[in-house]
Amino acid sequence: MSERTRGRTGRTVGENEDRSVPVLVRKLRKEFDGLIAVDDLEMMISPGLLYGLIGPNGSGKTTAIKMFVGLLRPSGGEAYVLGEKVPGRENVQRVGYMPQETAVYPDLTIHENMELFAELYSVSREDFERREKLLLDVIDLKARKDSLVSQLSGGMKHRTSLACTLIHDPELLFLDEPTVGVDPELRVGFWEYFGNLKARGKTVVLTTHYMDEAVRCDVVGMMRAGRLIAEGAPKDLMARANASDLESAFMFFSRGDNA
Amino acid sequence: MNPRRILAIAMKNLRGLKHDRRTVGFLVFMPLLLITIFGYTFGGDVENLDVEIVSFDDAPEGTSIASAITSDLATRDTMSIVRVTSPSEATDGTVQAALDKVRDADLLALIVFEQGFTEDAYEALFALRNGTLVMPGSFRVYIDGTNPNIVSAMMNDLQTSIQKVLVSPSFAIVLPIVATPELVYGEGAEFIDFFAPGVMGLAAMMVTFMLSIISFVHERGQSTLDRLLASPATEGEIVSGYVLAFGLVGLIQSLVILITAILLFGIEIQGSAVLALSMIFVFGIGMQGLGFVLSALARNEFQAVQFMPIVLFPSILLSGVFWPLEAVPDVLRPASYFLPLTYAVEGLRSVMIRGWGVGDVWLQLVVLLVFAAVMMLLSTYGLKKRR
Ligand SMILES: Nc1ncnc2c1ncn2[C@@H]1O[C@H](COP(=O)(O)OP(=O)(O)O)[C@@H](O)[C@H]1O
Ligand SMILES: [Mg+2]
């Protein structure tokens, strides 16, 4: 328990720094030259959840995630990821991040891309070979393993990007629009895999603007203009809004936010 | 600093190049082409300049200094003597006709020996001995001065002939003063020896800067940089991985140039090739750092390419690659001392031509090391900075 009560610097640590809490956010803000992208965000994500951050384009989902993974510095408030205040370096090994843009190297093959990230995360040779096989199955690109990424379709590139994120088997995943551009059949497979990750105790935080697939999340956070306007299990949210789908529920909470 | 991660990033860059055959071809053939073209163009002497000679010198054949100079000129390749008009045929018309050819640029020069040229020369010589002065024997050279190099090559060649002819047994006029150059360094050095170190530095600069700025613009544009920065790889490791990979590419290029220069142009390296290549490696690290830093200011490849002439031209002109620093005008000279290529080229020349060792080129080494260190720090800091 000493780790919970005393930090590395010796000062007493509070509940914020509980290393088992994936995400804890307090009054988090981000401004870009006067434009408020994330506005007093408050949220707490519990371990082992499939958490969906949903909201229209420009609502601040990507900005929030970039702060969580340490790529942007908050303008105000604070966020703790696995007990460490962002931006921090202590937990990088435990976290996986899939950027919204298809972030893979076009001049490398799928295999080489995955190998690079395995190396950066110090994955052992055996683990790499095992996971690569598994992930190639998930993204359905086994046959194209040695193709240059530049020769793949947009959806295939995006799938490669997901595989690179998962190669070191992180316990906390931030996936920014992982299913965009992926065809419906494979998207089902993706969601199955997300469920699979959850069953193995991983926490998955993903963003999407497909409301229909957000129903599959345990908890959904609805974002609008940088704020969290509602949070809860999809069923509860729909019930509170007296709506039959998340889309209408979102409209309901948007109106409430305006008032 | 984790060597495994540095190596992973270095390998990623090298693999990326490996899959891009055209770029590999460019990286190997660009320096080859550079050294070959420049080597032949600048390295060769000025030769086969079309010249016409009209002589009014009426001294008898065998005693005429004019015809002796004419025949001596023909023994070398600098001038190709198109036509010689002897005193018996020479008229003002021949001179005019030849002069028109020079004006029309059909001829590079016209040499006219006046009547009594040999006689004047002897008279001047005797007059000098008696303490009186008369006009010396003179001849005129009408020359197309468009290219100063051609003018000086031709005048040099003429001077050579005059001196040779005068001291030859038939005239036996010994000049009172002779300057004898004793080469301290560069015995047998030709222009290519001076030139090869410059091209090596220049090529290393071009390739390391180009590769780093373009790759980093890509890293940013395709968000892979975000992914690297969110991984355990530190900013320092990312920069080091890059520097290792492209530094190696720069090194291989320099080696290609060096080997070509040795095989094709027979240059000789007086000092340590390892020292020379190490200097290029360090210099390449600095140039890459500059590329990383500037990549932050370029939003796309097109903007990145715009930086190339801005960075390259001052160095090409002011760093002593093609002509010595001493030829750079005083107002611009201080700028030369701010360009890292100046030190790279100076260091390389000292090692390759003068055969100097580490102790002699310490200044250049220190400047290059400081440049590399500052650029690495700046690029690491640039990556560390979070908005
Ligand atoms: N680097 C940036 N500079 C300026 N504005 C930005 C930047 N990144 C995002 N924004 C702005 O912040 C807002 C939120 O964007 P984003 O987080 O990408 O939304 P989402 O991911 O929900 O579509 C948008 O208005 C966007 O234009
Ligand atoms: Mg987004």
Q: What is the pLDDT of residues B357-381, one digit of tens each?
A: 999 999 999 999 999 999 999 999 9
pLDDT at residue A3 in the model: 41
Which domain does B247 fall in, by range? Answer: 3-37+190-386
CA dist list (Å): B173 to B104, B130, B166, B170: 38, 16, 5, 9
In a domain, B44, yes or no: no
pLDDT at residue A1 in the model: 38
**pLDDT tens across B325-345, in order?**
888 889 999 999 999 999 999
Atom nearest to A57 CA in ligand 1: 23
Which of B169, B185, B201 is the endpoint of a domain? B185
Q: Which fold has domain A17-254?
A: Rossmann fold (3.40.50)
In a domain, B306, yes or no: yes
Q: Record the tokens describing residue B338, joined without a space.
A: 């701010």
pLDDT at residue A4 in the model: 43
pLDDT band of residue B226 (cuts 50, 70, 90) is: very high
Domain boundaries, chain A: 17-254
Q: Under an 8 A CB cutoff, do B8 and A120 touch?
A: yes
Euclidean distance between CA atoms B120 and B103, whole angstroms: 29
pLDDT at residue B56 in the model: 92
Q: Which residue has the higher pLDDT, B41 or B83?
A: B83
The A-side interface with B (CB below 8 A) comprises: 32, 66, 69-73, 87, 89, 92-93, 95, 97, 99-109, 112, 116-117, 119-122, 148, 164
Euclidean distance between CA atoms B270 and B283, whole angstroms: 21
Which of B155, B185, B215 is the endpoint of a domain? B185
Q: Under an 8 A CB cutoff, do B232 and A164 touch?
A: no
pLDDT above 70 for A127? yes
pLDDT above 60 for A2? no
In a domain, B281, yes or no: yes
b/e code A185-202 from CB counts within 10 Å (16+ = b): ebbeebbebbeebbeeeb
pLDDT above 70 for A11? no
> Do B301 and B323 form a contact (C-beta atoms < 8 A)?
no
> Same domain for B124 and B207?
no
Q: Record the tokens describing residue B83, joined without a space.
A: 């036509």
pLDDT band of residue A256 (cuts 50, 70, 90) is: confident
> Same domain for B339 and B206?
yes
Say how many C-beta atoms besides its own lie within 10 A of residue B250's C-beta: 30
In a domain, B119, yes or no: yes
Q: Under an 8 A CB cutoff, do B233 and A73 touch?
A: no
Cα(B74) to centroid(ligand 1), Å:
78
Euclidean distance between CA atoms A28 and A76, whole angstroms: 6
> Same domain for B117 and B152?
yes
> Same domain for B77 and B176?
yes
3-state helix, strand, coil in chain A (%, to 5): 40, 25, 35
> Same domain for B27 and B92?
no
Q: Under an 8 A CB cutoff, do B229 and A71 touch?
A: yes
In a domain, B83, yes or no: yes
- For residue B11, list chain A residues with Cβ-Cβ distance below 8 A: 116
> Same domain for B245 and B126?
no
Q: Under an 8 A CB cutoff, do A101 and B232 touch?
A: no
Ligand 1: list residues with CB < 6 Å. Answer: A 32, 35, 37, 55, 57-63
Which residue has the least CA distance to atom 11 on ligand 1? Answer: A37
pLDDT at residue B48 in the model: 85
Euclidean distance between CA atoms B154 and B51, whole angstroms: 10
Q: How many domains does chain B have?
A: 2
Cα A66 to chain centroid, rounded: 10
State pTM to two decimals: 0.83
Cα(A34) to centroid(ligand 1), Å:
12
> What is the chain B residue with the closest CA to A89?
B232
> Same domain for B178 and B254?
no
pLDDT above 70 for A8? no
Highest mean pLDDT range out of A201-210, B177-186, B261-270? A201-210
pLDDT above 90 for B147? no
Which of B148, B165, B185 is the endpoint of a domain? B185
B94: domain CATH number is 3.40.1710
Between B235-265 and B273-295, two packed helices, what is the crossing angle to 10 degrees? 130
Does the beta carbon of B385 lie under 8 angstroms from any beta carbon of chain A?
Answer: no
> Same domain for B376 and B274?
yes
CA distance B220 to chain A (A): 10
ipTM given for this complex: 0.91
Mean pLDDT of B293-321: 91
DSSP H/E element including B240: helix B235-265
pLDDT at residue A38 in the model: 95
pLDDT at residue B359 in the model: 93
In a domain, B355, yes or no: yes
> Same domain for B135 and B244?
no
Using CB atoms, which residue from B12, B16, B386 is nearest to A73? B386
pLDDT at residue B44 in the model: 62
Q: Under an 8 A CB cutoff, do A87 and B386 touch?
A: yes
In a domain, B335, yes or no: yes
Mean pLDDT of B306-320: 92
Fill in the amino acid letter for B245. Answer: A
Q: Which residue has the higher pLDDT, B253 or A203?
A: A203
pLDDT at residue B322 in the model: 82
pLDDT at residue B43 in the model: 61
> Same domain for B269 and B218?
yes
Please, which residues 215-254 of chain B have a Cβ atom closer than 8 Å to chain A?
222-224, 226-234
Strand A227-232 versus strand A50-54 pairing type: unpaired
pLDDT above 60 for B97? yes
pLDDT at residue B164 in the model: 87
In a domain, B243, yes or no: yes
- Percent share of chain A, pLDDT over 70: 93
Write down the mean pLDDT value for chain A.
Answer: 90
Please, which residues 16-75 of chain B have a Cβ atom closer than 8 Å to chain A?
16-17, 19-20
CA distance B293 to chain A (A): 18
